[in-house]
Amino acid sequence: MTNFNTLAADRYTTKKYDPTKKLSDALVNELKDILHLSPSSINSQPWRFTFISDPELKNELSACSFHNDEKVRDASHIVVFSVIDNIELFEKQISDNLPEGAIAYYNKNIKPGTEAEIKAWMAHQVYLALGFFLSACAAKQVDSTPMEGIDTAAYDRILNMKDYKTLFAVALGYRHADDSNQPSVKGKSRIDRDKIIFSR
Ligand SMILES: Cc1cc2nc3c(=O)[nH]c(=O)nc-3n(C[C@H](O)[C@H](O)[C@H](O)COP(=O)(O)O)c2cc1C
């Protein structure tokens, strides 16, 4: 298995996909298994992940994806990350699935918050799944693009989301040979390590 530091240095946000290259069904299934195992606070899992490979549906979403339109069109798959938008439904889900201690934690620490605070807490869990997923893609040598730059309300309409809301999407596939964002062409850009990472 490749060293994680190498994976971190080599993964990048793909800006141009080769439309002729598709992920195998077996690989997609492995990525689904990994997302299913994403960690979340109290194991709350307030999410839904929708894998899209149908070209017509991808084209429809592409038209609502602003500057990401070509990525959505040309990538092999799009994964839409959604969060539960119905707190009552979420509370039923945790009471059906989680141990008493986890429910008690939610009731004491999260539930007293405002609706906006509870929903922000749930969205944090979905973003955590994004980080987990991007690392998994790197480990599987799948190129990826996290995309907040999409019309999430249009995605909800097209995908007929009920009780869930799109937060962002991830394009998956294989880079076009001409992708100018790949690390071999454009080096990684980060704020200096010693300005953001401290030991005490
Ligand atoms: C939550 C999130 C949303 C992002 N949205 C977009 C996007 O809409 N389009 C895009 O091309 N890149 C998007 N990016 C990619 C970032 O710009 C990229 O991760 C950052 O510049 C670091 O570059 P690297 O991923 O190539 O290392 C997003 C990244 C994250 C984590």
| Three-point CA angle 22, 28, 32, nearest 5° | 155
The sign of the torsion formed by the CA atoms of 118, 144, 60, 34 equals negative
The sign of the torsion formed by the CA atoms of 144, 52, 35, 168 equals positive
What is Dmax (Cα atoms) for the chain? Answer: 54
CATH T-level topology, domain 13-174: NADH Oxidase (3.40.109)
Q: Which atom of ligand 1 is nearest to the CA of 188?
A: 27
Give distance in angstroms: CA of 179 to centre of ligand 1: 15
Ligand 1 neighbours, Cβ below 6 Å, are 12-13, 15, 68, 145-149, 168, 188
What string of pLDDT tens digits covers the 200 residues of the chain?
689 999 999 999 999 999 999 999 999 999 999 999 999 999 999 999 999 999 999 999 999 999 999 999 999 999 999 999 999 999 999 999 999 999 999 999 999 999 999 999 999 999 999 999 999 999 999 999 999 999 999 999 999 999 999 999 999 999 999 999 999 999 999 999 999 999 99
CB 38 within 8 A of CB 129: yes
Give distance in angstroms: CA of 61 to centre of ligand 1: 18
Q: Could you state, in order of their start, the residue ranges of all structural domains in the chain?
A: 13-174
Give distance in angstroms: CA of 146 to centre of ligand 1: 6
Report the nearest-CA residue for atom 5 of ligand 1. 147
